[in-house]
A and B are shown apart, each in its own frame.
Chain A
Amino acid sequence: MADRMADRTLTPTHPLADRRGLLATVADETAGAVRLELEAPVAAVDLRLDPRGTGPAAVAAAIGAALPSAPDTWTAHPTGAALRLGPDEWLLTSTAASAEDWEFHVDEVAAAHGGMAVDVSAQRTSLRVRGAARELLSFGCALDLRPASFPAGRCAQTLLGQSGVLLVAHDVDDLQILVRPSFAAYVADLLVDAAGELVPQPVP
């Protein structure tokens, strides 16, 4: 039996696999005003570093781009993104490495500077909202999401409905929602529910 199983590989399951169809209906329902898409899981670490020390520069050298230094901002690096979550905390993602390799790699660099990286790849899942994303989120998020206040390059940990989320601004009409997998179905349902408000209304 062990031999038979050794031939197989473990297949990952997306936390919102059973909402994929529901999310896809939104684009049609809203006549293209808004689109909700699942994003493929990526490797991610929670990086903790003294921002005043030598760590940030060392990590930047290793990943090929500077870490964002302003609060609530993010930057792209060659294989992923770096999001500043707190004074000494970043979320570093990579589409190129496996989760365990990414943790090992970043941690090795950080450890030399008193920092550390912890694998949190499966701690969040990602939804992409394109089109009238800011309007859609205004039904559940208290943040000022006007493009001037929340431009591309900004990110924020906030509430969407009653769920904590990490919002990432990619463009005026392109936002990313990172959410704990256990809350993801709630958030998906909340967004699909609100998207009905973007359905074009017949003019009386």
Chain B
Amino acid sequence: MSRVDGYGRIDRSRTVTVTVDGTAYTGHPGDTVASVLLAHDARPQNTSVKYGRPRGIGAAWTEDPVGLVQVEEPFPEPMLLAATVEATDGLVVRGVNGQGRLAEVPDTARYDRRHTHCDVLVVGAGPAGLVAARTAARAGRSVVLVDDRPTAGGTLTGTETIDGRPSLEFVADTVAELAALGVVHLQRTTAFGHYDDGFVLALERRGDCVIEMGPRTRQRVHRIRAGRVVVAAGAIERPVVVEDNDRPGVMLAASARDLLHRHGVLAGREVVVFTSDDAAYAAATDLADAGARVRVLDARERAPQAGRRRCEDRGIPVETGTLVHGTRGEDRVTAALVGALTSSERREVPCDLLLVSGGWNPAAHLASHVGGSLAYDPVIGAFRPGELPPDVAVVGAANGTFALADILREAGGPDAPVAPPEEWPEPTLVLWRTPGDPTRQFVDVARDATVADVERAVGAGMTHPEHVKRYTTIGTAHDQGKTSGIIALGILAELTGRPIQEVGTTTARPPYTPVAFAALAGRERGDLFDPVRTTALHAWHVAAGAEFEDVGQWQRARHYPQAGEDMTAAVLRECAAVRTSVGIMDASTLGKIDVRGPDAPVLLDRLYTNLMSSLKVGRVRYGVMCGNDGMVFDDGTVLRLAEDRYLVTTTTGNAAAVLDWMEEWLQTEWPDLRVRLTSVTEQWSIAAVAGPRSRDVIGTVFADVDVSNEAFGFMTWQDTSLDGVPVRLARISFSGELAFEVTVSSWYAPALWERLVEAGAPHGITPYGTETMHVLRAEKGYPIIGQDTDGTVSPHDLGMAWAVSKKKDDFVGKRSYARPENRNPLRKQLVSLLPTDGATRLPEGSQIVAHCDDGRLPPAPVPMLGHVTSSYHSAALARPFALALVKGGRERLGEVVHVPVGDELVAARIGESVLVDPEGARRDG
């Protein structure tokens, strides 16, 4: 056991059991998987991704390039760092061999998102962040403070002094003051992305730590919009690359210190500290105080006076001008290979832990995300924030300010707390690697990428870090090069003989640490994945046993199967009812736009291919709307309500797009037109009553209305009322049958629908759904825009040249009809297809090939004539039929073509698109 009494912020009164690679280990609340393993002198059974070399724990937090584990229980999660997974009772993890696995079962945990607004967001609750938050809160700002560790304080260990008190007392007092000032303070919350204008995404881990009293939501993405963002994210220690530095037992110096003070764990007993920076001295003395045998090897000619003195007090040998060149050992370090700076001699120094420290890299990623520049500072051997966007500040170690006294002053301004100044610091020696075999010097331990790989990249002609990154994969692992990125730049500079300032950097991009897709999805899964839009009649459809289909976001009744019916049977029955008696359908999802103003006729004339200004009040006209390219964009009916008022309907899926289209023309091209558009899609519900008996039903319910053909002609509308509620009736048919559309305020739609159904009962009124509607309209050759068209089909191609005005000077799409291609007789045209066997229903989307006598598919490339757009069984025809777009189809009427269906070629005869009642005799009843 390497647990040390008297250290750590763990709850030793309670134990938790964690299973790693099949072995149960005990730990305490406050532990991580890494600290539990190190407390038991164990490591996860990891091997590296490329060479299969053993991997241990390399650092105490998210910068660790190696300590990856697969969580198995409570829920499988791949590739998490042992150093960041909090130890909870029952947790089961195993080491990974370079790759984890995703869960094969749905994640039942809850994830959500929350929007937060504040004046100031402070990222990081170390000394800089706490003081920055306190300063802003005291000034009356609304403040959000986020920090990724479980507790505030950052790298403070408790050994420091702030305002004359132990540092952790200062932390506790500050946290309490922030709470009293109303600061939203979130621990275990990682700000992982920073976007323009103060928008920051942060992931809060709420449930990983508390099993028995788990919060309802496991992880939450906070979408924070801040007036000002203060990045106080600290710094990440920089290793020095030596031979075999990937071996378990090599760790960052500050991480070993963090493990001791946070978790009460000694990561090694025989410790060699190799440093070119002062900070590692604190690690050396603290580990020695906790019982380790420590030796310091400083690459610099001079050791810092205070650090050396403290080491001497503890009997820690300090050698200056000394380098570690490599490690020895099998699956863990047993010795460091050491030599003087000036000598080629090497000696082995036995150890079970090699701590390395080459200085510190500011964690300014969040400033870079929004375009903050970085400038190389040779004094610290790292890039620090340069020019920043407005309202972004970087303070403390993230800004390259490393001494506690300086950090506090920088973050707090005039009322900053004070800390004793650092005693006689010694400048950092910038050292990327020590002399050795480049094939065994790992630059990115996570990617098994060595100095030799960087050499190969340079040899291949690459000089820019972005190229080298992609060639070597350095910096592309889970840690995104938190420790390796800067070293790769330094080594690239060395290999290309340039100063590092000229090498440049790669760009830090979100996320700072990995984020589970489940967290990003939040509640947008299951029923809340996408809104389900329903009509006012939905409850009736459900009660009537409807099967539904999605049309855009709408849920529409598709058919109403009776006991024992499949869809084909139900649709045939519903079709037959409409053709022989009467059916009723909910057409409320049709888009409806109120077009009003003196220039309404002008606007509609310009947007529809046909004339709308000539439409008389009280009448209805079918209209086609095209894009600039002359291709059909939408269709629908237009009711003229008054000289200056129309009601336009659109297809269900295009309602919003058509309104946007009309508004775009109105607002940007023709702002002079006095017209206003109002969406009334949901204001009005529509019941379509169709079939030879529909007149009886309408006549019964609306006894005051003369529904005779003479008084109420096809394509006219009349207003009436029912029990004082206004109702509009229109003779519009999408089935070819006598039909009425009954429009009423959606408030009254269920009540009116019930009346219609009741009145239709003597005639066996049959509710029918969209599938039946599709069949009925297809029998009449009416296209569905978006099904029988695909944006390349003109009104002429649909056989609707009659709907394209020749009288109008101009309308949207008109000029395109003069293009030679639009007059090409081989354009695809809408026709019907009747399989000659009278039995095969051609699959929609099937290709159509020219007739071949032998019934075999010709050799590739097979000449394609077009494709099937709609295909159904017809009750009226007592056979299957299809609509298709066929090259030069109108010229091929009567020809037989072939459609590959599975391995068969099915013969089908091309016909007119209208198959049922081509004379239109049925529409008037």
Which residue of the partner chain B has the closest CB to A116? Answer: B596
Q: Is the beta-carbon distance between A183 and B225 smaller than 8 angstroms?
A: no
* A99: interface (CB < 8 Å): yes
* A27: interface (CB < 8 Å): no
Cβ-neighbour of A119 out of B527, B532, B683, B759 (below 8 A) = B683
Q: Enumerate chain B residues within 8 angstroms of A114, measured Cβ to Cβ.
A: 674
| Chain B positions 163-218 with a Cβ under 8 Å from a chain A Cβ | 210, 212-213, 215-217
Q: Is the beta-carbon distance between B523 and A181 smaller than 8 angstroms?
A: no
> Chain B interface: which size bin?
35 or more
Which residue of the partner chain B has the closest CB to A139? Answer: B114
Q: Is the beta-carbon distance between B217 and A18 smaller than 8 angstroms?
A: no
Inter-chain CA distance A142–B674, complex, in Å, is 35
Q: Is the beta-carbon distance between A190 and B523 smaller than 8 angstroms?
A: yes
Tell whether A99 pairs with B534 under 8 Å between CB atoms, given A116-B676, A197-B217.
no
Q: Is the beta-carbon distance between B114 and A138 smaller than 8 angstroms?
A: yes
Q: Is the beta-carbon distance between B597 and A120 smaller than 8 angstroms?
A: no
Cβ-neighbour of A1 out of B117, B684, B700 (below 8 A) = B700
* B653: interface (CB < 8 Å): no
Inter-chain CA distance A123–B685, complex, in Å, is 10
Q: Which of B743-751, B763-771, B849-857, B875-883 contacts A (4 or more CB under 8 A)?
A: B743-751
Least CB distance from A199 to B in Å reads 7
Cβ-neighbour of A185 out of B212, B225, B532, B597 (below 8 A) = B532
Interface residues of A, dominant DSSP: loop
Inter-chain CA distance A202–B214, complex, in Å, is 9
* B509: interface (CB < 8 Å): no
* A15: interface (CB < 8 Å): yes
Q: Is the beta-carbon distance between A138 and B528 smaller than 8 angstroms?
A: no
Q: Is the beta-carbon distance between B114 and A122 smaller than 8 angstroms?
A: no
Q: Is the beta-carbon distance between B751 and A10 smaller than 8 angstroms?
A: yes
Tell whether A120 pairs with B683 under 8 Å between CB atoms, given A114-B674, A142-B115, A194-B112.
yes
Cβ-neighbour of A163 out of B531, B676, B700, B723 (below 8 A) = B531
Interface 0/1 of A84-126, CB less than 8 Å to B: 0000000000000001100000000000001010111111100
Q: Enumerate chain B residues within 8 angstroms of A181, measured Cβ to Cβ.
A: 536, 682, 746
Interface 0/1 of A22-64, CB less than 8 Å to B: 0000000000000000000100001010000000000000000
Least CB distance from A197 to B in Å reads 6
Inter-chain CA distance A183–B553, complex, in Å, is 9
Interface residues of B, dominant DSSP: mixed
Q: Enumerate chain A residues within 8 angstroms of B596, measured Cβ to Cβ.
A: 116, 118
Q: Is the beta-carbon distance between A120 and B726 smaller than 8 angstroms?
A: no
Q: Enumerate chain A residues within 8 angstroms of B24, measured Cβ to Cβ.
A: none
* B530: interface (CB < 8 Å): yes
* B223: interface (CB < 8 Å): yes
Interface 0/1 of A184-204, CB less than 8 Å to B: 011001100110110101111
| Chain A positions 123-179 with a Cβ under 8 Å from a chain B Cβ | 123-124, 138-146, 149, 161-163
| Chain B positions 715-744 with a Cβ under 8 Å from a chain A Cβ | 722-726
Least CB distance from B415 to A in Å reads 25
Inter-chain CA distance A180–B554, complex, in Å, is 13
Q: Is the beta-carbon distance between A190 and B683 smaller than 8 angstroms?
A: no
* B142: interface (CB < 8 Å): yes
Q: Enumerate chain B residues within 8 angstroms of A142, measured Cβ to Cβ.
A: 115, 223, 225
* A78: interface (CB < 8 Å): no
Q: Enumerate chain A residues within 8 angstroms of B532, measured Cβ to Cβ.
A: 185-186
* B346: interface (CB < 8 Å): no
Inter-chain CA distance A149–B142, complex, in Å, is 12
Inter-chain CA distance A181–B523, complex, in Å, is 22
Cβ-neighbour of A149 out of B112, B116, B117, B680 (below 8 A) = B117
Q: Enumerate chain A residues within 8 angstroms of B496, measured Cβ to Cβ.
A: none
Inter-chain CA distance A119–B683, complex, in Å, is 8
Inter-chain CA distance A146–B532, complex, in Å, is 30
Q: Is the beta-carbon distance between B682 and A182 smaller than 8 angstroms?
A: yes
List 16 additional A-B contacts (Cβ < 8 Å) besides A15-B746, A118-B594, A120-B678.
A10-B751, A10-B755, A41-B747, A99-B745, A116-B596, A118-B680, A121-B745, A124-B682, A138-B116, A139-B115, A144-B117, A161-B523, A180-B682, A185-B532, A199-B216, A202-B213
18 contacts between A and B (CB under 8 A): A1-B759, A8-B723, A10-B725, A10-B751, A12-B751, A13-B536, A13-B747, A15-B746, A100-B726, A118-B594, A122-B683, A123-B680, A142-B225, A144-B117, A149-B117, A161-B531, A182-B535, A201-B213
6 closest A-B pairs by beta carbon, nearest first, are: A182-B533, A204-B213, A12-B747, A186-B531, A122-B746, A2-B703
